[in-house]
Chains A and B, each alone.
Chain A
Amino acid sequence: MEETIFKGLMIASLTLVLTALAGMILIMLIKGAPALTLSMIMETPRGGYYLGKEGGIANAIVGSLYLSFGASIIAFLLSLPMAFALQKDYSGRQFARFTRLVLDVLWGVPSIVYGAFGFVVMVYFGIRASLLGGIIVLTLLMLPIMVRSMDEVIRMIPAELKEVSIALGATKLETTFAVIFRQGLPGIVTAVLLAFGRGIGDAASILFTAGYTDYIPRSLYDPVASLPLAVFFQIGTPIPEVQGRAYASALILLFIVLIVCVASRLLARRFSRKIIR
């Protein structure tokens, strides 16, 4: 009796959660699809765009890609050695454990705090809101996500594989690249894409550090537009056409995030074919 009641409640709650997901995607499709035109994707805003006239949000799409690709590349280059360093071969257990904890806490720090921190640092060094500032802050945001996700996968690699490589006379560095990197590749790809997805959708951290502009940035010191902020600013206006564009921008953003999510699964599956278990 009790079991039946609880099982009913469980199924009801699970349905509720899945309905929320389906509902959100459905809302975005219904609201966003009508405003989604080719000129939305291909053009930058023209005069009077924010009053409902011609133009598109190519500036935000390109800007978001610049920001997240830039930050992903830097974060990847930094996090790869960090993920290796967390393993037994390179550092003591206590220190590695402590650093893991620090990274986990950093993972949870709200992105607005990163934004505020980045802003203070940029003011100190005299950098204005720019592509450079946005990339730096997003790198900070992505770093703990990448390092910890890579670390979780690299830890699972069987010790025997490393031992075999060392026994054959390879140095630690050679073992790291020939064995650990190869074996961990699916996880490394997933980690990078997870962080990329998180970075491209984050608005609070780049609100003050990347700025907003109607143009596609030409240099690192130009301000840059981004999709989350395009959604945020356009929904704030009272004009229905512009709000429609906010929905369309959100749909584009959602689409990118979903593609990244699916791609990470497919790539991980593809790369794990060559793994020795």
Chain B
Amino acid sequence: MQWRYAKDWCASVSIRSSLILVNLIAFIIVFVLFMKAEPILRIQSLGHLLFSSSWHPLKGQFGFLSFIVGTLEVTAIAMVLSIPVSLLSAIYLSEYAHKYFKGLVRLMLDILAGIPSVIYGLCGVIAIVPFVHSLGGFFGNPTTGYSLLAGGIILAIMVTPVIISVSMEVLAAIPDEARTSSLALGTTRWETVRYVVLKGSLRGIIAAIVLGFSRAFGETIAVLMVVGNVAKIPTSLFDPAYPLPALIANNYGEMMSIPLYDSALLFAALVLLVLVGAFGLVANITLSRLTKKGYYFS
């Protein structure tokens, strides 16, 4: 008889300590990256690393500006393309669509969100790059097609399902009473959506966008395949760019042979982690307050 209680006690202890393990893993990841990035921080100031654009690893010059600008611009293009489309779709699905249609689209969004990024990249190489190439020719901007715009379009397609599903959750958290009482006052469907539903869920929708943004920010392979990877600050949409994740992925092979190179690349990884972590933290706290449950990337 006592044996059962002993077993229960042991299990309780180990189950509880497993949570400590999770937090420990998170801490170790941050700590290890920081320790590895520390040598370069000791030699060059943070401001110089982040705001200088001279990238000459062989001469020991590590300025990340062109990579940071590249990342921000690709992400910004993706967000500009994706936000209106995703929000309009989410509003339609949650406020107007029939239940069965909604379920069907949800399945499709799940599939879209589950497609590996390398396949997005491949489709980008096959379809988007030639499209951008001819678009560049049309606007008198000769380009190979491997450009900021191509990266932005691919990223937009990738983050759209994320923003749509999170926004749908946020819209669903608005109580039905709010809608019915607004309709009972004689407003139209659209007026209810605009003045009641959207107004109430504004913060959640912003959080959904932030979540999409941070997802796009760290995307590696798909962007790497279409963005051109030239370490220069791009001046037009049709110029190639070189985002941070692509930099890490492309240069890992040779990083051990040049002094401080590994430290510089791990500094880049740390920057990614800190930025994405900060965005994720803000968005998740907002969403968990709004929808009364913890939230997550889908």
When distances are taken between beta carbons in the complex, the residues of chain B under 8 Å from A78 are: 18, 21
CA gap between A173 and B5 in the complex, in Å: 9
Instruction: Please indicate the chain B residues that have their CB under 8 angstroms from the CB of A202 in the complex.
Output: 116-117
| Cβ contacts under 8 Å, A27 to chain B | 123, 126-127
Interface size class of A (residues with CB under 8 A): 35 or more
Answer yes or no: A247 CB below 8 A from chain B CBs: yes
Binds A, one of B40-48, B51-59, B132-140, B288-296: B288-296
Out of A16, A28, A108, name the residue touching B211 (CB < 8 Å). Answer: A108
Tell me, yes or no, whether A178 is within 8 Å of chain B by CB.
Answer: no
Asked whether B112 is an interface residue with its Cβ less than 8 Å from the other chain, the reply is yes
Find out whether the CB atom of A110 lies under 8 angstroms from the CB atom of B22.
no
A7 to B95, CA, bound (A): 11
Q: Which residue of B7, B11, B89 contacts A13 across the interface (Cβ within 8 Å)?
A: B89
Contact partner of B249 (CB less than 8 A), chosen from A31, A106, A204, A258, is A204
Give the docked Cα–Cα distance between A114 and B26 (Å): 11
Query: CA of A99 to CA of B112 in the docked complex: distance in angstroms?
Result: 29
User: How far in angstroms is the closest Cβ of chain A from B214?
Assistant: 6
The reply to whether B266 and A82 contact each other, CB–CB distance below 8 Å, is no
Residue contact B118 to A110, C-beta cutoff 8 Å: no
Quick check: A261 and B114 within 8 Å, CB to CB?
A: yes
Determine whether B16 belongs to the interface, using a CB cutoff of 8 Å to chain A.
yes
Q: Which of B103-111, B143-151, B178-186, B231-239 contacts A (4 or more CB under 8 A)?
A: B103-111
Instruction: Check B297 against A228 for contact (C-beta < 8 Å).
Output: no
Q: Quote the shortest CB–CB distance from B2 to chain A (angstroms).
A: 11
Q: By CB atoms of chain A within 10 A, which of B15, B89, B281 has the most?
A: B15
Cβ of A65 within 8 Å of any chain B Cβ, yes or no, is: no
- Complex: how many Å from CA A10 to CA B168? 14
Residues of A within 8 Å of B14, CB to CB, are: 81
Whether the pair B8, A102 counts as a contact (CB closer than 8 A) is no
Complex interface bits, B82-125 against A, C-beta within 8 A gives 1, otherwise 0: 00111011011100100000000101111110111111111101
Contact assessment for A261 and B85 in the assembled complex, using a CB-CB cutoff below 8 Å: no
- Report whether A203 and B117 are in contact in the complex, using a CB–CB cutoff of 8 Å: yes
Q: A110 — which chain B residues lie within 8 A by C-beta?
A: 217-220, 245, 272-273, 276
List A contacts of B111 (CB < 8 A). 21, 258, 261
CB of B24 to closest CB in A, whole Å? 10
Instruction: Say yes or no: B15 contacts A105, CB within 8 Å.
Output: no
A246 beta carbon closer than 8 Å to chain B:
yes
Does A117 sit at the interface, judged by CB under 8 A?
A: yes
A160 adjacent to chain B (CB < 8 Å): no
Q: Taking the complex as formed, is B228 at the interface, i.e. its CB lies under 8 A from any CB of chain A?
A: no
Known pairs A3-B189, A112-B245; A148 contacts B294 (CB<8 A): yes
Does residue A55 face the partner (Cβ distance < 8 Å to B)? no
Known: A14-B105, A101-B281. A250 touches B8 (CB 8 A): no
Whether B22 contacts A108 by the Cβ 8 Å rule is no
- C-alpha spacing A107/B112, complex, angstroms: 18
* A121 contacts B by Cβ under 8 Å: yes
Within 8 A of A (CB), among B239-298: 245, 248-249, 252, 265-266, 269, 272-273, 276-277, 279-281, 284-285, 288, 293-297
* A247 touching B214, Cβ below 8 Å: no
Shortest B282–chain A CB gap in Å is 10
Interface residues of A in 24-43 (CB under 8 A from B): 24, 27-28, 31
Q: Tell me if A70 counts as interface (CB < 8 A to partner B).
A: no
Can you report 16 A-B residue pairs in the complex whose CB atoms are below 8 A from each other? A7-B96, A13-B86, A17-B160, A27-B123, A95-B19, A98-B23, A104-B297, A109-B273, A112-B269, A116-B265, A152-B293, A172-B11, A173-B7, A194-B114, A250-B119, A261-B110
A-B pairs, 6 with minimum CB distance: A110-B218, A201-B116, A3-B190, A10-B92, A171-B8, A204-B220
* A interface, CB within 8 angstroms of B: 2-3, 6-7, 9-14, 16-18, 20-21, 23-24, 27-28, 31, 78, 81-82, 84-86, 90-91, 95-117, 119-121, 140, 143-144, 147-148, 151-152, 155, 171-174, 176, 194, 197-198, 200-204, 207-208, 228, 231-232, 235, 246-247, 250, 253-254, 257-258, 260-261, 265
A-B contact sample (15 more), CB < 8 A, given A17-B85, A28-B122, A109-B277: A6-B190, A12-B88, A27-B127, A101-B281, A102-B23, A104-B280, A108-B297, A109-B218, A143-B25, A198-B114, A201-B117, A204-B117, A231-B119, A232-B225, A257-B115
